[in-house]
Amino acid sequence: MTLLSIARSLASSATLMLLTASALGCGSTAPDARSPVQVVRDATPPDKIIDTETGEEITIADLISLLVRNKVIYLGEVHDDPLHHQMQMQIIRGLFVQDPSLAIGLEMVQQPFQSVLDQWTDGQLDEQNLRRGIEWDTRWGFDFANYRAIFEFARSRSVTMIALNARQEITRAVGLGGLDSLSEEQRAHVPELDLTNEQHRELVRAALESHHGGADSFERMYTAQVIWDETMAAGIGAVLSGPQPPSRVVVLAGRMHVERGLGIPARATRWGGEPYQTVVVVDEEELEAILDEDEPVPAPARFLWLPED
């Protein structure tokens, strides 16, 4: 369940739904004549990649060489845009070629379904039974075609896939009724929450600026967002501290969860999730605003990927 889903439960405003979808990584861009599967599988190079630390344009080979030095690589996405998943696929391939010791962490799959992912990568399930087993269509809901190539890549190369997300029942309850609405059993699955980061709070508040539900409503929704981030951060830490940890974890998550390192990345450092880097897809307008010498806006990630038109 996404923050958008909670917002839908709290209000029926079309404006709210559209804004939240876009801001949290759930909106789409211009349509493509190719199918989502074709887009993701095509190794179409981006128009450019910008390293915001230096302001310089770099190549995919440069990007991979910089990313492979890290324990965690966050690839932020808009869930229903195939170009974002094409970026993820190219980076995963490139990292695997450099060092096959990696795991893929998934916001899309909730933690209780880890055994189903294991069966998939072991070749025990077909796609239909995978989707049924992880309850993809009811718990995630976005078109599996956008993710198919990544799932198939992981299985064909025995790359571990990690179910990172919190249980839907927990975040839904908190979004609607706050932490006090949780049962004792549910509270046991909620990690320690840091609700004090004002930069992160304002980032989420800006995404929900058209929601007029009041301070209490925002606080519940913000707490649900932090539960997602903290749960995924702890999951990353568990992978890295496990008995046979991979060299790195590639995390696929909505842009809001990785933007400016304020969501999952900063929290995962408490669990050993560093060094890390972040990559997101941007369009020309956003890139120009970020690189504006007079009034630049904050870069959402260290590396900005501008797809080919």
Domain-embedded: residue 220: yes
pLDDT tens figures, 247-271 = 999 999 999 999 999 999 999 999 9
Mean pLDDT of 159-183: 96
Domain-embedded: residue 161: yes
Domain-embedded: residue 153: yes
Query: Alpha-carbon distance 239 to 248, whole Å?
Result: 9
SS3 content of the chain, % helix, strand, coil (to 5): 50, 15, 35
The count of domains in the chain is 1
pLDDT at 30 over 50: no
Domain-embedded: residue 37: no
Split at pLDDT 50, 70, 90, the class of 34 is: confident
Percent of the chain's residues with pLDDT above 70: 88
Domain assignment of residue 20, given as a range: 3-30+52-306
Domain-embedded: residue 285: yes
How big is the chain by its Cα radius of gyration, in Å? 18
Task: State the chain's mean pLDDT as an integer.
Answer: 90
Domain-embedded: residue 47: no
Split at pLDDT 50, 70, 90, the class of 208 is: confident
User: Is the separation of the CB atoms in 260 and 199 below 8 Å?
Assistant: yes
Q: Identify which has the larger pLDDT, 6 or 71.
A: 71
Torsion of CA 25, 30, 33, 35, to 10 degrees: 10
State if pTM tops 0.85.
yes
Domain-embedded: residue 45: no
Residue 207: per-residue pLDDT? 85
Query: Alpha-carbon distance 17 to 34, whole Å?
Result: 27
Q: What is the CATH number of the domain that holds 165?
A: 3.40.50.11550
Domain-embedded: residue 40: no
Query: Alpha-carbon distance 191 to 168, whole Å?
Result: 15
Spell out the residues 6+ positions from residue 80 whose beta carbon is closer than 8 angstroms to its own. Answer: 26, 27, 28, 142, 143, 146
Residue 33: per-residue pLDDT? 72
pLDDT at 16 over 90: no
Residue 4: per-residue pLDDT? 53
